[in-house]
Chain A
Amino acid sequence: MKKLTRPQIAWRIAQDIPDGAYVNLGIGAPELIANYMPEDREVVIHSENGILGMGPSPAEGEEDPDLINAGKKPVTLLPGGSYFHHTDSFAMIRGQHLDIAVLGAFQVSRDGDLANWATLDNSRPPGVGGAMDLAVGAKKVFVMTDHCTRDGQPKLLEACTYPLTGKAVVDRIYTDVAVIDVTGGGFVVREILAGLPADQLNAMTGADLTIADDCAALTAPAL
């Protein structure tokens, strides 16, 4: 019973992104999802700096400083891809033209409130980027996160204690031990790490969980 690694969580999320979807993958861990997209699906990746149809990292030596992703790393453009300016890019986001945004999280509440841009420690200058626009704008918001913080504190809570990115915006949470839907009635566990008892998952979570009747085992290939 090993927790999923980040690439394994990314793989698991990739399985749920349907053919034809327009998707924004948040800066950091969600970027990994692009590596595990099933080959029989055509998914268009949006980057908020002004790209649709973003491709993988270029080969070494092929980098173009004018072609970067939201994390400011060099990328490529796939055939059919396009460039557009920032205001159009965010019109696309807020106007609900993107099917899915996958974002990281510090905390998620049972009502789907998301906190992912600021903590309470104030040791870094504030910065929000496009997180608030993506949180309210994408048709569906998936969260990719470890279930608990590094020091074991739950990240799925009754209510967020950190400043919100958006209220009632999260649809589904993929963690290293579970797949959890945010429903009108709180957190519903759809998949739980094979071999992890439900009461142990409860103990790792700061809010009540409902285990779905058809709750399945969360598994991923070795990556």
Chain B
Amino acid sequence: MIDKRVRDFDTALAGMADGATIMSSGFGAAGAPHDLLEAVLERDWRELVIISNNAGEGDRGLIRLIQERRVAKVICSFPTSSNSEIIKDLYFANLIELEIVPQGTLSERMRAAGSGIGGFYTRTSVNTPLSEGKEIRTFQGVDYVLELPLTADFAFIKAKQSDRWGNLVYNKSARNFGPTMAMAAETTIVQVDEFVELGTLDPERIITPGVYVDRVIEVPGA
């Protein structure tokens, strides 16, 4: 029997270690898996590499891991947002590394990793500092830059509902990076508002099929 539901964070986070690379869903606070990130904080893992669109927002989740100096590097498109003076301070003190990737390229690199694509060419960032040192190739007279897949040890996702197979539905614009990160990492861990019975999610509306999901933990009202 397949049952990806877990009851506690220790089980959810099995295999986590210092130095792990973690994809963290969310755009700003919408869709951010705050409780999974804070469970990592409580368990004291360090030197983490985080892949996320932003480097924390507000006062929960990723921003707390960063404040507590557990994060060595963030790969993101836009690090600063509200309440992110801390990023600025750590960055200029050389206490955190930032790798800036254009937003669509960030997402597509993860999609490539999750779909067996060895790399892809995009026009995005050609003739800018973000394509320096990368292969440029011309197709039909247009220059494209080669971008490589981006994977991680873990993906942390927030979704609205899951069944025991790990099929997921999301809420509104909180979907954002969830479906792509779910396919891109070695182990995908999801926090959901609510578990539902197998068979109750409309198959036409399942956004992330359970094949991409390893573990799901219920965090009501998160």
Contacts and interface: CB of A to CB of B under 8 A. Distances in A.
A50 B80 contact: no
Interface stretch (A33-41, A82-90, A177-185, A206-214): A82-90
A138 B114 CA distance: 26
B173 A133 contact: no
A65 B100 contact: no
A178 B172 CA distance: 39
Interface in A72-112: 72, 77, 83-87, 89-91, 93-94
B67 interface: no
Contacts of A137: 104, 123-124
Interface stretch (A9-17, A163-171, A196-204): A163-171
B128 interface: yes
B187 interface: no
Given A50-B173, A77-B172, A85-B179, A129 B98 contact: no
A125 B124 contact: no
B103 A130 contact: yes
A118 B101 CA distance: 13
B146 interface: no
Contact of B104 (A51, A83, A85, A130): A130
B interface residue count range (under 10 / 10 to 19 / 20 to 34 / 35 or more):
35 or more
B30 A68 contact: yes
Contacts of A164: 127-129
Contact of A49 (B27, B92, B108): B27
B77 interface: yes
How big is chain A's contact interface, by range? 35 or more
Nearest to A135: B124
A66 B130 CA distance: 31
Contacts of A83: 170, 172-173, 175
Given A47-B173, A163-B129, A87 B180 contact: yes
A127 B173 contact: no
Given A93-B104, A94-B122, A128-B78, A51 B173 contact: yes
Most chain-B Cβ atoms within 10 A of its Cβ — which of A132, A133, A166?
A132
Interface string B163-204: 000000011111111111000000000000000000000000
B37 interface: no
B30 A49 contact: yes
Given A90-B103, A126-B100, A130-B104, A85 B176 contact: yes
Contact of A125 (B30, B82, B88, B122): B88
Q: Is chain A's binding surface mostly helix, strand, loop or mixed? A: loop
For B53, B87, B127, B177, which residue has the most chain A Cβ atoms within 10 angstroms?
B127
B94 to A, nearest CB: 12
Contact of B107 (A47, A90, A165): A90
Instruction: Identify the 9 closest CB pairs spanning chains A and B, nearest first.
Output: A90-B104, A133-B104, A167-B127, A72-B28, A66-B174, A130-B103, A127-B78, A129-B78, A132-B102
Given A66-B172, A129-B77, A133-B104, 5 more contacts: A50-B27, A128-B103, A129-B102, A133-B105, A167-B127
Interface of B: 27-31, 53, 57, 76-82, 87-88, 91-92, 98, 100-105, 107-108, 110-111, 122-130, 170-180, 207
15 contacts: A48-B103, A65-B29, A66-B171, A66-B172, A85-B207, A89-B104, A90-B108, A128-B102, A130-B103, A131-B102, A132-B130, A133-B124, A136-B123, A136-B126, A163-B129
Interface of A: 47-51, 64-68, 72, 77, 83-87, 89-91, 93-94, 118, 124-133, 136-137, 163-167
